[in-house]
């Protein structure tokens, strides 16, 4: 069999919480119409999960009781309120290149990942097509932290 490597998975809510990323309500990454004439309310629900009950918290649009996203609904109480709010009004149909770049900068400079030797670790970023891959690659090549191939190798694969 092939060789396996230990993998750490991080979800969008983890990334938002780790980096502290926040976007403006009129950002291209926010849902159109969010917080314009309608209000939200934070609610906690008890749900069944694999035979046990657990509490989840979400921001609910008063106009449409289940107006928040599944991502925010699935967050447990270990996530900060700001993280859940960001998930609730984020437009999940758009690729947030700023957030991807910020995450890679965070990984590079964070004490959380300092124990990983540079020649031992890798980060995989999955994007839907060649156009998106090329756009991200060009952004990273323009970033001083990732543009020097002697310290960081950015590869495009498809």
Output the tens digit of pLDDT for each of the chain's 158 residues: 567 777 888 888 899 999 999 887 778 888 766 555 445 566 666 667 677 777 766 665 555 443 445 555 556 678 888 888 788 778 888 899 999 999 999 988 888 888 877 777 788 899 999 999 999 999 999 999 999 888 888 888 87
- Environment class of residue 67 by beta-carbon count within 10 Å: exposed (0-12), middle (13-18) or buried (19+)? middle
pLDDT (0 to 100) of residue 19: 92
pLDDT (0 to 100) of residue 37: 46
40 three-state secondary structure:
strand
Q: Whole-angstrom Cα distance, residue 150 to residue 84?
A: 38
Q: Whole-angstrom Cα distance, residue 3 to residue 26?
A: 46
pLDDT (0 to 100) of residue 75: 62
Residue 121 CB neighbours (<10 A):
12
H or E segment to which residue 67 belongs: none
68, 59 Cβ separation under 8 angstroms: yes
Measured CA distances, 36 to 43, 53, 100, 149 (Å): 20, 35, 27, 45
pLDDT (0 to 100) of residue 40: 55
Q: Whole-angstrom Cα distance, residue 158 to residue 149?
A: 20
pLDDT (0 to 100) of residue 62: 53
pLDDT (0 to 100) of residue 38: 45
The whole-model pTM stands at 0.71
């Amino acid at each position: 069999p092939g060789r396996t490597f230990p993998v750490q998975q991080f979800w969008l809510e983890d990334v938002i919480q780790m980096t502290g990323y926040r976007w403006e309500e009129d950002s291209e990454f926010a849902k159109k119409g969010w917080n314009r004439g309608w209000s939200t309310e934070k609610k906690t629900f008890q749900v069944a999960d694999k035979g046990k009950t657990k509490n989840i918290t979400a921001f609910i649009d008063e106009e449409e009781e289940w107006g928040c996203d599944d991502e925010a609904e699935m967050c447990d109480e270990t996530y900060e309120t700001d993280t859940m709010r960001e998930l609730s009004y984020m437009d999940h149909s758009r690729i947030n290149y700023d957030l991807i770049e910020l995450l890679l900068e965070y990984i590079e400079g964070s004490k959380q990942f300092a124990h990983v030797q540079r020649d031992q670790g890798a980060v995989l970023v999955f994007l839907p097509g060649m156009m998106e891959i090329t756009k991200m690659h060009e952004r990273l090549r323009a970033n001083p932290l990732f543009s020097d191939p002697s310290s960081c190798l950015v590869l495009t694969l498809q």
